[in-house]
Each structure stands twice: as structure tokens, then as C-alpha cells.
């Protein structure tokens, strides 16, 4: 699948991060929508299904891990890539693992090369 066919949703409660990731991914040819609130992203899933969701882990209201679990329950084929600068993110991933979910985690700040490498690995599988 070439990048233009891959739809990505990005969510981060820091709008500048979400927009920056959106710009990086669009420059590489991906179709991208960004959200500042995980609940907005969940609402959009009823309208459009992405191939990949990239989410910050630590967000108010709904963590990226909880968001990822909800997405995987509704859409098992959707790939999830999480990123975080918080040490407590590991605890949330352990909780998700106990529920049978394994997610990739990148550390903030995410270098564009690492982000794109991970996306290619995930979408080629």
C-alpha cells in the first residue's frame, strides 16, 4: 500500500504537536487528520476509519492507551502507535497488556525519521 492510500488519525492534547505531526506525515504523502481531543477522534470513527491511529498517551479525559483499547475493540484491523514523554505511560501499557493488547510506544520527542520508519513497518505488515 502506498502512503497516499494510508489514512492516519493523530491525536494529542497539545495542538502544536498534533499539527506538526500532521504536516510531517502529509509531506511524506499520507492522508492525515489531527485531533486535540481523543473523544473527537472516537466520534470521527463513525464517519471514517483510519488505517493507523497515532496518539499521545497522557491526555485529559481519556488516555491514549484507553483510546487505543476502545479502537481495537471496535476496529481490530486498525494499527495503533502511541507516544509519550511520561514515565507513567509504561503502567498504562502494562494494564493494556493484561487485557490482551500490545501497542508500540515511541518516546517524546519523536524524531520524524523514527515516526516514519515505524509507520512503514506497521503498514507493510
Give me the CATH number covering residue 13. Answer: 3.40.50.2300
State the chain's mean pLDDT as an integer: 88
- Residue 6 pLDDT greater than 70, yes or no: yes
- Residue 44 pLDDT greater than 90, yes or no: yes
32: containing domain: 3-124
pLDDT in tens, 77-121: 999 999 887 666 666 666 766 667 777 778 888 889 999 999 999
pLDDT of residue 86: 63
Per the structure, the count of domains in the chain is: 1
pLDDT of residue 103: 79
- Dihedral sign for Cα 43, 69, 28, 24, please: positive
- Residue 125 pLDDT greater than 70, yes or no: no
pTM beyond cutoff 0.85:
yes
Judged on CB neighbours under 10 Å (0-12, 13-18, 19+), 16 is: exposed
Amino acid at each position: 500500500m502506498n502512503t497516499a492510500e494510508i489514512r492516519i488519525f493523530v491525536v494529542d492534547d497539545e495542538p502544536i504537536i498534533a499539527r506538526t505531526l500532521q504536516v510531517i506525515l502529509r509531506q511524506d504523502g499520507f492522508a492525515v487528520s489531527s485531533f486535540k481531543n481523543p473523544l473527537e477522534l472516537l466520534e470521527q470513527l463513525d464517519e471514517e476509519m483510519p488505517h493507523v491511529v497515532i496518539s499521545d498517551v497522557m491526555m485529559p479525559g481519556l488516555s491514549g492507551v484507553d483510546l487505543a483499547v476502545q479502537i481495537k475493540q471496535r476496529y481490530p484491523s486498525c494499527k495503533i502507535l502511541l507516544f509519550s514523554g511520561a514515565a507513567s505511560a509504561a503502567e498504562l501499557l502494562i494494564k493494556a497488556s493484561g487485557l490482551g493488547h500490545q501497542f508500540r510506544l515511541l518516546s517524546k520527542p519523536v524524531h520524524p525519521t523514527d515516526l516514519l520508519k515505524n509507520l512503514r513497518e506497521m503498514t507493510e505488515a
